[in-house]
Structure formats: structure tokens, C-alpha cells
Chains A and B, each alone.
Chain A
Amino acid sequence: MIPGKFEYHVPADVGQAAALLRHYDGEAKILAGGQSLIPMMRFRLAQPEHLIDLSKVPGLSYIEERDGHLAIGALTTESELEHNATIRDRYPILKDATDVIADPLVRNLATVGGNIAHADPANDHPAVLLALRADVVATGVDGHRVIPIDEFFLDTFVTGLEPDEILTEIRIPTAKSGTGSAYLKLERKVGDYAIGAVAVSMVVRDGVIAEAGVAMTNVSPYPVRAVQTEAALVGRPATAATFAAAAETASQECEPSGDNRGPEEYKRAVIRTLAERAFSLAAERAN
């Protein structure tokens, strides 16, 4: 498991990094935590000629609440998220997710930016950020632009980032009162990608679900919001019956395929179980 030849660049700031991307025009790849890219290179599934390592670029690792959102720098590691008090207290869904991403060793290196930039339907953050209706900040030589998360994931391993853009920040709307969220994942063992997982964020007012965001992991070709399931929640009372019916919708809305993690029917059943449990956990947290 030896990668092919590549040239290694260490830019000092985002501007330099974006300039290198533009210069090598499709031949270069950003290296963040390397926990997805390096395995692919070792298996020679990816053979970039140039690697642009962001690890020496300052100012891309932070977790701050400002201007009506929670801003997370792209290079923030999973373990930084995992141990952050704001996340733990106010964004439990993110804590749920980081706790079950890979294993502690990988979490020390893997970045949240890399997790979504990779656009792997098996990764856990895409579903979470879809459920939370996050925005993504892309930075290029010519400046920044904000991409709504719904427009970010275009296909398996394909995002809305231009080839010379770098993902620099993730913005999550500040939780309104009455918000409850949860992420439940089933994996074969710690460090495994999901057999299936369900992310939900809901606002409950007077016992009724006023808003809902739902997305699922590893049961579709690329990460997308589960709009039918959301519709099965919104406007209905936050009761076990609603959750069971919406969970049934989720199990039909997902598009799993059979593999080593189990056949299609099993994955649908897992989604039903996890969705029902995630919905009631989120509703509980909303109180």
C-alpha cells in the first residue's frame, strides 16, 4: 500500500493555497487530515500529482457563535468538536455525530471540512449538516461565497466547490428555542462507516413539530435531505405515533443497496428503527 509519486506543497495562507489550486488546474488536491485521501492514495484509487497541505495555514480551526450562527473552521478536528463545551451543551447532534465518527485516533486528525468536502455518502457530517440547514463558505483566489448545504452535495464524491476553491467555514444557524436534535448511527464496530444513520433537528412548539430537518447516512448515492420524512413530521404532534409513521416514511425514502453491511431490506429496517429512536430523542431534547 504505497502511493504513487506526488509533489507536496505547504502554503502559508488560504490565498497561496487557492493560487496553487488554480495553478495546477485539476492536478492538485487539498490535504486536510488525510484520513480519507491518504488511504485512497495508498490503494492508488486517487493519484493526485500535487498535494496542497493546509496544516500550516493558520486561522482555519475554531468553533465560535456569532451573527446568528455557529461558525466552525474547516480545519477543526473531530476531537476538537467532540470536546467543545458549546457543542456539547447547545448542539447535541454534533456531539452525537463526532462521538461515532471513526475512532479516537482518526478523530485526532480528521477535519470537519474534509469530512464534507470529500462528499462520501458514508461520512457522517453531511447528514448532520443537511438536517441543520447549514451553509458552507468557499474561498477562492477571487474571494468568498456562501453555498447552502442543499446545493453542496452534487453526486458521490462531487461537491459544488469549484476546482480552485477551498472550503473554509461551516455555518450552522443558531438553535431556536424549542429545538431538539439527534444523530443515531448503527455501525458494525467502532471505526466503521454507518450501516445506516439518521440525523434530525426539529423545533417543537406546544407539542407540535413546527420545523424539521432530516437526512440519512450511507443509504443513498449522495447525501440529500429526506424531504418526505420531514413532511411526515412537520405540523404533526410530537408523539410516538407520529414518529413511527415518519420512521416508516424514512425507511421507504432511503435508497440503500446491499453489501457487507447487510442486504437492502435490513438497511431499511435499521433506518426505521434508528429514525423512530432519533425522533423521540430529539423531541425529548427539545423540552
Chain B
Amino acid sequence: MAIESPKIMGYGTSPKRKEDPRFLHGKGTYVDDIKLPGMLHMDIVRSPYAHAKITNINIEPALETPGVLAVITGKDLDAAGLAWMPTLMSDTQMVLPVEKVVYQSQEVAAVIATDRYTAADGVMAVEVDYEPLPAVVDPFKALEKDSPLVRPDKGKDTNHIWHWEAGDKDATDKVFADADIVVEEDLYIPRIHVASIETCGCVASYDAVNGKLTIWMTTQAPHAIRTVFSLVSGIPEHKIRVISPDIGGGFGGKVPVYPGYVIAVVASLKTGRPVKWIEDRSENLQADSFARDYHITAQLAADKDGRIRGMKVKTLADHGAADAAANPSKFPAGLFSICTGSYDLEAAHVEVDAVYTTKPPGGVAYRCSFRVTEAVHTIERMVDRLAVELDRDPADLRYQNFIPKENFPYKSPTGWEYDSGDYKQALDVALERIGYEDLRKEQAEKRARGELMGIGISTFTEIVGAGPSNTFDILGIKMFDSAEIRIHPTGSAIVRIGVQTQGQGHETTFAQIVAEELGLPVDNITVEHGDTDTAPYGLGTYASRSTPTAGAATAVAARKIREKAKHIAAHLLECNPDDLEWKDYKFSVKGVPDRSKTMQEIAFAAYTNHPQGMEAGLEAVNYYDPPNLTFPFGAYVCVVDIDPGTGVVKIRRFVAIDDCGTVINPMIVEGQIHGGLTMGMAPSLFEEIPYDENGNNMAGTFMDYLLPTSLETPNWETGNTVTPSPHHPFGAKGVGESPTVGAPPAIVNAVVDALSHLGVKHVDIPMTPWKIHKLITDAQATTA
């Protein structure tokens, strides 16, 4: 590959990120950098209550504040038919309430003023009278008959939202009936928040003269947003332009539409001026969509010799006040049914019930590939749980039950077809790297001295790249993705894609795809995205789907160009196209390598000397509909030490071996893994949004929502194996979420392993010092 033309920088090379100079020089353009003439500022009045009737809103004192131009309430929106909006999960959510609020910090009214400070003063001046209603906090109690209703507007007499199942119930019951042993555990995956460093916001600018609405917006999916806005507002789609500028982290939290976006648009329509809305940190943490919040009961059935045979999972999903997940519409629980993981089971049955509570809406996929974090946590914990029960080494039990590599493509008991995998190899590499045998010896010695040390393994299977359009859509829009490539006469190129980077490095990796496929230097390729007026239609970036979908589209479009280029080369070399071969990034006559044409020469000819009868130019478009998802995987091993005096868990070592098939840019992949591992550690040890019995958010600022920093982060040791995807044009799988998905159970397994001799069988995350300390003291109390 690419040896004599290092400047091409194709697959497997690590050019520096093209986007970094702009970020490192402070020249990025984030939404808050957008400043338009005459721009107004919006700030939002929010509810102090989780559940309350609104008896009166007095906007007069706010309107009397100098500089305040307008105050928008639910009544104003109701008159325009905009008091409610659809969520991406086809639920409905209040934009501004008319009757009652259903979560703390819910938007109640918006103040539009000449500057940000005046808007904040206006917010303080709005007087809202509330009549508190009982909060619905516990999702189990929410299902009881006498529970107050969160959403009477739904016309049902229950807070239950939906029930969903996967797998074969009868077959699973049968396996359970004749298995030797069944282990069961309750797992809670708590509510957490993406906490991207850039909060959400927009600048909405309606130009009354040409009737065009432009919205600069922190969104991971600009095209889908444009379509939804058009359908909801009635503004023709060509009169709406959504621009997603540089995004300071999305992680799934910037897929949904938040009330603030809609209100800002209404405010611009109303005032005829651009309106900027930027959330502050507390608003972001308290009101924007959360993730996880799954109450899981899982069972594994196995034989005495360790063969895992079946799995049953029942889950209660706390969706808050609206199901505002951004899952594919046929998958209300996302891809949770991947929960049989890397193991060859006979049968499995998964059930999820969703419920409304008086908490912020959501269920967004926070770097979790649509609920795969919850699925992986379940299976990886349960395998360890079984290992303890059978007194087996957890690595050994995994080896026994892995799907063998010869069995791919593998049909899982819940209906997925895994494309490729070599789980044994990944675990071999990981155990070797960490020195597993020696660690077990060290652990035994430490245990004898009363010291607490544990080793945890996670051998996870991911499922990313939604998706085949026959099964995957969001609000009816199929989940293909797109690329458009145009080669300029001098051999440089512009690539426009339907996905949207939030830090993943698309501007570099997508240029590398074109570089590799067309033999053009990566530096001469510009990648653009995020502007719906120029980029091809796409569903956006989340769920690790960019490389599997738009990356594939880019390769396919490039190959179309290469095909045309071949004919031009034949014309230039005066030979038959069939006599040409593509080798070393150029077309040469088979057997006569000296007679060749580079893509740069061909590009020039495409505009100056193309064959008679052929269209001029060199460009192509592809809308790629993947035949299947891709199934990245990995083997993680974590070593922890626990301080019995304080309960503090310290990650001593963490080895992460990932397999995402063909790697485009190893440096960027490693960066993704580092970030993802840190985001996997975060909820394992630090992050949670708890609510008190009145529905008050107990972690609404960064003082209590404990985002880890570099100082809490261990030294990640990364490595990889390569098992290409057989159906992806160049064998790649997604990778951005593997580490977030795979890391938590490795850490939990290590902690449980450190405490298992005390009788500890499970710990829910976050494993805070006080929780661990209590487990230790309780265990000492029972043995004493």
C-alpha cells in the first residue's frame, strides 16, 4: 500500500487532522460565534417544579424591562399550532406548556431582548404561578394504578408508553426449563447526560423579503431537522436552510430537537430579526435529553460444564416526560436485543416496557449505538455472574462460549446477522498484553494480605452502521447516507457528505477514503458537510454510522469516478480500457508499467481532452444503502485496586483491544478509543443524575455532575486486531462507540472481582467511594 506515494495518505496512515489547525488557532466557528446584524437574544424561563399546574403567567414586568422586545408563552405558540412538537420517536413533547409542567427546568416562557444580559433580567421579571402536583419519580410506582398521570394528553389511564419484545419466548422457556443452572441479577444503568462541552443553541434568522429561514444550529443531523421543520411549520423545504457549523461535541445529545430551537424560530418569525439562543451549562444538564435509565432484570441459563444456553431480559425504561429517543422507528428500545453479545446461545428473549415519569424527556443514544451500552453491560456482567456461580475463571468461561470465527456470518437468537468476528484472537491479545496469569497470582497474594485488587474482562460485540433501509428509518426517512465527489481540473477535489462531524475527524478520514480510492494526495481534498443547501441528503452522524454508511458512499462514488477515469486513461494511452490496471494509485497498461496515467493527469484531461461522446468533468454521487449493519468488537481487561479505608476504586491498568475492521486513520481511531474509554469510565465511577422524591435534579451543575478530567483518567493501553467487514466496500466498521459500550462492564467486573471473596456479586454504577465502602463494611459486619 501507498509506499512510493506517501503524500496520498490512504488507508492505514495517520495524516494529522485537517480540522485541527482551525481549532488550535481558535478559528473554529461554533454557533455562538455567529453574529448577525440586528441579532436579538433569547433566554428561557424554566420551571422550578417537576410537576405543577401553571395557574398564571404574568409577562408584563418583563415587557417593562428596557431592552426586552417580546415574551413568548405556550399560549402564543398554541395559537400558531406550535405548542407541541413531534419527537424523533413519534411521541409528542411540549415546546412551551399551556397547562402544566412535567419536569424540573422545563421551558415555560422565553424572553427576547436586545442583549443576553437584558434577556436574563427579563427572565427574572416574568412571574409564573404554579400549583404543585405530585412528582412521579420512581418508574415502578409510575406503573401502579393510583399513580398520578404524567401525560393525560395521551388519552390513556396509565403512564405506560410501549411494550417491545425480541427473540423467541417459547424456545427460551424451553432452554431454561432443562438447563442445569440459572443465574439472575438486577442491574440499573442510571440516567446520565452527554454533557458535551459546547451546550446546545441556535441562531434563527427569518428573511421576510425572500421568505427564507436560515438556522445555524448545534445539530448532528441537519437534513433530518430541515425536513421535520418543514413538515411541522409548513415552510417549504427549499426555503429552510440548516447549517450545522463546528460542533463542540454531540454524543447523541444533539440529535433531538429541543424546545429552544423551535421557540427561537418562532421569535425570529415574530420579530423579523435574527434570534440567538445559547443554553448555559445548568440548562443543558437539567433540561436536555438524558441517556440510559434502564432497570434491567437478566437471567442466564447454563449447563454445569459452563455452556451458556439461554438468556432472558426484562427491562423497565424510564423515559421521563416524553419518549424523545432518536432510535430507528421500528426499534423503540434501540438495538438492545444485541444483548446475547459474543456468545453462541440457543435462545433468548428480551422485553422492554417504557414509562413516563416527571423527568426531562429522552432516552437519547449517548455514544451507545442505540442502547448497546445497556445490552453489553447486561451480558458482560451476567457472564461474570455465572463464572462466580460455577467457580470458573471469567476468561475461560468466555473462551468456552464465544461464537467461533468459522461461524460467521452468524445468526443471533434475537435475529441479527453478525458480519464477521474473531473474538478468541482479540481476547488472546488482550490477556497477553496485560499479563493475565501473573495478575491472578498477584491477586491471590494480595488477597491473603487483606488487600483488594480485581481483574475485569469485557469481550463485547457492537452493532453499528444503521442501516439497511428496509428496516431502519427515522420518522420514515430511510437510514442510507450519501457522498458527492467532484474532481477539479488540476486534480484536487471537493467531497460533500450527508453526515456531520462533531469531533470525529470526518474532514480527514473522508479525504483519506478519496485519496486511497483515487490516488490523490489527501491535502488536495476538501471535505464539506453540515449545510443543507450544499451537502447531499443524509441522516447525520450518531450510532457510529458515518464510516459504515457515508464512508461506504464515498468509496462507491470514488469508484464510479475511477471507472470513468479508466476510459479517459485509455483514451490518453490509446489502448483498450480492459488493458489497463489500477496499481500503485495509477492506471497503467498491463505488463507495461511505464505507460501510465495518474488521476491528476486524467482529471485535467476530463476537462481539456476527454474522449468524443463522453461527458466532460469528473464527479459522482452515491446514496449508500448498507446491506447489513457492521459488528465491531473488542476485548478489554481492567485492573483495579480498592482502598478499603475510603472505598476509592483506582484503575491501575486498562488494556483495550478493538477490532473495527479496516482502519482508515489509526491515530484518529486511537483518539476515538481514548475518548470513548474515558466516557465509559465516567458513568462507571462518577456520573449520575439522581432525583429526589420531589423530582429535583440532584446533579444539575458540574460541581455535582462529575465529569472526569485528564486527572481522573488512567493511562489507556490500546491495540487492535483487524477482521474486515465482508460487506462494506473497504471492510470498515464503525468504532466511535465501541469503547463507551465495552468499558463499563470491564470496570464493574474488576470491582466485583476485587470484592467477590467478601460475597459481593454485583455493584450498580456509578461505583462511588461510599457505595463501595458500604459493601466492604457490610461484608465485614456479616463475617464478624
Identify the closest chain B residue to A266 (Cβ).
Answer: B770
| Count of interface residues, chain B, beta-carbon cutoff 8 Å | 30
A-B contact sample (14 more), CB < 8 A, given A2-B43, A44-B124, A262-B773? A1-B280, A2-B117, A4-B121, A186-B769, A188-B686, A188-B706, A189-B686, A189-B711, A192-B706, A195-B770, A260-B699, A266-B647, A266-B769, A274-B646
B120 near A: Cβ within 8 Å? yes
Q: Is the CB of B281 within 8 A of A1?
A: yes
By beta carbon, the residue of chain A nearest B117 is A2
Given A2-B117, A186-B648, A189-B686, A262 and B770 contact (CB-CB distance below 8 Å)? yes
Given contacts A186-B646, A186-B648, A273-B645, contact A266 B709 (CB under 8 A): no
In the complex, chain B residues whose CB is within 8 Å of the CB of A260: 690, 698-699, 704
User: Contact between A189 and B699 (Cβ–Cβ < 8 Å)?
Assistant: no
In the complex, per-residue mask of B118-144: 1 if CB is within 8 Å of any chain A CB, else 0: 001100100000000000000000000
What is the chain A residue whose CB lies nearest that of B118?
A2
Known A1-B282, A2-B117, A189-B686; contact A269-B768, beta-carbon cutoff 8 A: no
Q: Which residues in A have their C-beta under 8 angstroms from that of B280?
A: 1-2
Give A residues with C-beta under 8 Å from B. Answer: 1-2, 4-5, 44, 103, 186, 188-193, 195, 260-263, 266, 269-270, 272-274, 276-277
Chain A residue nearest to B682 (CB atoms) is A189
Q: Which residue on A lies nearest to B701, using beta carbons?
A: A43
**In the complex, what distance in Å separates the CA atom of A273 from the CA atom of B644?**
9
Which B residues are in CB contact (< 8 Å) with A1?
A: 280-282
Contact with A along B773-784 (1 / 0, CB 8 A): 110010000000
Q: Assess whether B646 is in contact with A2, with CB atoms less than 8 Å apart.
A: no
Residues 660-689 of B at the A interface (beta carbon under 8 Å): 686
Report the minimum CB–CB distance from B379 to chain A (whole Å): 29
14 A–B pairs (Cβ distance < 8 Å), ordered by A? A1-B280, A4-B124, A44-B124, A190-B712, A192-B703, A260-B690, A262-B770, A263-B770, A266-B769, A266-B773, A266-B774, A269-B777, A270-B645, A273-B645
What per-residue 1/0 map shows which CB atoms of B276-290 lie under 8 Å from chain A? 000011100000000
Docked pose: A276 CA to B646 CA in angstroms: 12
Contact in complex: B646, A189 (CB < 8 Å): no
Which secondary structure dominates where chain B touches chain A?
A: loop
Hey, what's the 0/1 contact readout for B748-773 against A, CB within 8 Å counting as 1? 00000000000000000000111001
Q: Say yes or no: is B116 at the interface (Cβ < 8 Å to chain A).
A: yes
Minimum CB–CB distance from B777 to chain A (whole Å) comes to 7
Residues of A within 8 A of B773 (CB): 262, 266, 269-270
Residue-wise, chain B 637-668 has the 8 Å CB interface mask toward A (1 for contact) of 00000000111100000000000000000000
Q: Which residues of A contact B690 (CB under 8 A)?
A: 260
Contact at B708–A189, with CB atoms within 8 Å?
yes
Given contacts A190-B711, A190-B712, contact A262 B768 (CB under 8 A): yes
A261: chain B residues within 8 A (beta carbon): 770
Nearest A residue to B698 via CB reads A260
> Chain A contacts of B708 at CB under 8 A?
189
Which of A2, A270, A273 gathers most chain B CB within 10 Å? A2
Q: How far is the CB of A124 from chain B (nearest CB, A)?
A: 15
Which residues of the other chain, A, contact B647 by a CB distance below 8 angstroms?
266
B200 CB to nearest chain A CB (Å): 15
- Tell me which residues across on chain B come within 8 A of A103, comparing CB atoms: 709, 711
Give the distance in Å from the alpha carbon of A135 to the alpha carbon of B667 in the complex: 55
The answer on a CB contact under 8 Å between A273 and B646 is yes
Pair B646/A270 contact, Cβ less than 8 Å:
yes
A231 CB to nearest chain B CB (Å): 24
Q: Establish whether residues B769 and A262, one from each chain, have CB atoms under 8 Å apart when the complex forms.
A: yes
Taking a contact as CB atoms under 8 Å apart, the answer to whether B770 and A189 are in contact is no
In the complex, the chain B residue whose C-beta lies closest to that of A1 is B280
Residues of B within 8 A of A (CB): 43, 116-117, 120-121, 124, 280-282, 645-648, 686, 690, 698-699, 703-704, 706, 708-709, 711-712, 768-770, 773-774, 777
> Which A residues are in CB contact (< 8 Å) with B777?
269
Distance in Å: Cβ of B191 to nearest Cβ of chain A: 14
Chain B positions within 8 Å of A277 at CB level: 645
Which of B282, B699, B703, B708 has its CB near the most chain A CB atoms (within 10 A)?
B703
B116, A2: Cβ atoms under 8 Å?
yes
- Residues of A close to B646: CB separation below 8 A: 186, 269-270, 273-274
Q: With a CB–CB cut-off of 8 A, which chain B residues contact A262? A: 768-770, 773
Give chain B residues whose Cβ lies under 8 Å from the Cβ of A274.
646
A103 to B648, CA, bound (A): 20
Chain A nearest CB, measured from B688 CB (Å): 9
A2 with B706: in contact, given A189-B712, A262-B770 (CB under 8 Å)? no
A269 to B648, CA, bound (A): 13
By a CB distance below 8 angstroms, the chain A residues around B686 are 188-189
The distance from the CB of B781 to the nearest CB of chain A, in whole angstroms, is 12
For B708, the closest partner residue in chain A by CB is A189
User: Chain A residues with Cβ under 8 A from B116's Cβ?
Assistant: 2
Of all chain A residues, which has the CB nearest B647?
A266
Which 9 pairs from chain A and chain B are nearest by CB?
A262-B770, A273-B645, A2-B120, A266-B770, A190-B711, A1-B280, A189-B706, A260-B704, A189-B712
Complex formed: what's the CA distance from A276 to B706 in Å? 28
Closest to A273 in B: B645
Which of A4, A191, A195 interacts with B769 by CB under 8 Å? A195
Complex: chain B residue closest to A196, CB-CB: B646
Known: A2-B116, A2-B117, A2-B120. A189 touches B709 (CB 8 A): yes
Bound Cα distance A260, B768 (Å): 10
Closest to A193 in B: B703
A262 to B703, CA, bound (A): 15
On whether the beta carbons of A190 and B645 are closer than 8 Å, the reply is: no
Nearest-CB residue, chain B, relative to A277: B645
When distances are taken between beta carbons in the complex, the residues of chain A under 8 Å from B774 are: 266
Please give me the residue from chain A that is nearest to B644 by CB atom: A273
Complex Cα–Cα for A186 and B117 (A): 38
Which residues does chain B contribute within 8 Å of A266, judged by CB atoms?
647, 769-770, 773-774
Q: Please name the residue on chain A nearest to B707 by beta carbon.
A: A189
Specify the chain B residue showing the minimal Cβ separation from A190: B711
Most chain A beta-carbon contacts within 10 A, residue among B282, B686, B770: B770
- Residues of chain B within 8 A (CB-CB) of A192 are 703, 706
For residue B402, give the distance in angstroms from its CB to the closest CB of chain A.
Answer: 36
Q: Give bound CA distance, A285 to B455, whole Å.
A: 35
Measured CB to CB, the closest approach of chain B to A183, in angstroms, equals 16
Q: Which residue among B43, B281, B704 has the maximum number of chain A CB atoms within 10 Å of its CB?
A: B704
Tell me whether A188 and B709 are in contact in the complex, defined as CB-CB below 8 angstroms, given that A1-B280, A2-B116, A2-B117 are known contacts: no
CB closest residue in chain A, given B120:
A2
Q: Nearest chain-A residue to B712 (Cβ)?
A: A189
B709 touches A190 (CB 8 A): yes
User: How many Å lie between the Cα of A263 and that of B769 in the bound state?
Assistant: 11
CA gap between A270 and B646 in the complex, in Å: 6
- Residues in A with CB closer than 8 Å to B645 are 269-270, 272-273, 276-277
- CB-CB under 8 A from A2, the residues of chain B are 43, 116-117, 120-121, 280
Chain B residues with CB under 8 A of A186: 646, 648, 769
CB distance from A87 to the nearest CB of B (A): 22
B769 touches A188 (CB 8 A): yes
Bound together, the chains give a CA A190 to CA B710 distance in angstroms of 9
Q: Tell me the nearest residue of chain A to B711, going by C-beta.
A: A190
A97 to B768, CA, bound (A): 23
Q: How far is the CA of A132 from the CA of B523 in the complex (A)?
A: 62
Contacts of A263 in B (CB 8 A): 770
Q: How far is the CA of A78 from the CA of B121 in the complex (A)?
A: 34
Q: Which residue of chain B is the closest to A267 with respect to CB atoms? A: B770
Closest to B690 in A: A260
Instruction: Give min CB distance, B127 to chain A, whole Å.
Output: 16
What is the bound-complex CA distance between A270 and B280, given in angstroms? 35
Q: What is the CB-to-nearest-CB distance from A230 to chain B, in angstroms, rounded to a whole number? A: 22
B372 CB to nearest chain A CB (Å) = 27
Q: Which residues of B contact A193 (CB under 8 A)?
A: 703
A260 to B692, CA, bound (A): 11
The CA-CA distance from A46 to B726 in the complex, in Å, is 62
Alpha-carbon distance A114/B586, docked complex (angstroms): 68
Question: Which residue of B117, B648, B709, B768 is within 8 Å of A191 (Cβ)?
Answer: B709
